[in-house]
C-alpha cells in the first residue's frame, strides 16, 4: 500500500490528504518507467518516500482488512436472520471506501448488483437506492 500511495496517481487524492506531494508521485512514476525500460531487474528500484506514507499505508491496509473481514462474516453467517442493516451497511461502506480510492468500476457494479440481490422485500426500496447511490 505504501508503494501505491507513493506512485499510483489513482490514489493521489488520499496521498495528498496524508501529506504526500504530487511531485513525489511524479518522481516515483518516472523512476518506475526507467526501471522497466532498463530491463535490468537486479539494480533495484529507488523511489522517493514520505514520513507519512508508511503509517498511512499501515492504517489504510488494516482498515481494509477489518472491513473485508466484517463483510465476509455477516454474509457467511449461517443465521440468515442477522440484522439486514449490518449486512448491507457494511457492504455499502466497503463499496464506498474502496471505489472512492481505487476506481474499478466493473467489480464495484458486480458487488452492487450482488448486494441488491440479497435485499429482503420489506426494505427493498431503501436498500436498492442506497446501493445505487453508493456506487454513483
73-90, pLDDT tens digit by residue?
988 887 666 777 888 899
- How far apart are the C-alpha atoms of 92 and 68, rounded to whole Å? 11
> Residue 44 has what pLDDT?
61
What is each CA distance from 2 to 52, 83, 93, in whole angstroms? 10, 36, 22
Ranges of residues in the chain whose predicted pLDDT is under 70? 40-48, 79-81, 102-103
- How far apart are the C-alpha atoms of 100 and 72, rounded to whole Å? 20
> Residue 33 has what pLDDT?
79
**Residue showing cell 504530487:** 22
Helices of type H across the chain: 2-7, 12-17, 22-38, 53-76, 84-101, 105-117, 124-135
- How far apart are the C-alpha atoms of 91 and 96, rounded to whole Å? 9
Of 63, 80, 67, 81, residue with least CA distance to 111: 67
Model-level pTM?
0.70
> Residue 43 has what pLDDT?
59
Amino acid at each position: 500500500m505504501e508503494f501505491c500511495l507513493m506512485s499510483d496517481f489513482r490514489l493521489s487524492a488520499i496521498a495528498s490528504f496524508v501529506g504526500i506531494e504530487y511531485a513525489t508521485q511524479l518522481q516515483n512514476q518516472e523512476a518506475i518507467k526507467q526501471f522497466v525500460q532498463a530491463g535490468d531487474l537486479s539494480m533495484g528500484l529507488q523511489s522517493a518516500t514520505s514520513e507519512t506514507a508508511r503509517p498511512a499505508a499501515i492504517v489504510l491496509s488494516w482498515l481494509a482488512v477489518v472491513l473485508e473481514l466484517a463483510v465476509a462474516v455477516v454474509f457467511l453467517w449461517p443465521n440468515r436472520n442477522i440484522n439486514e442493516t449490518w449486512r448491507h451497511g457494511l457492504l455499502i461502506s466497503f463499496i464506498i471506501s474502496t471505489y472512492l480510492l481505487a476506481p474499478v468500476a466493473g467489480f464495484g457494479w458486480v458487488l452492487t448488483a450482488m448486494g441488491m440481490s440479497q435485499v429482503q422485500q420489506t426494505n427493498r426500496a431503501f436498500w436498492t437506492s442506497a446501493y445505487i447511490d453508493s456506487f454513483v
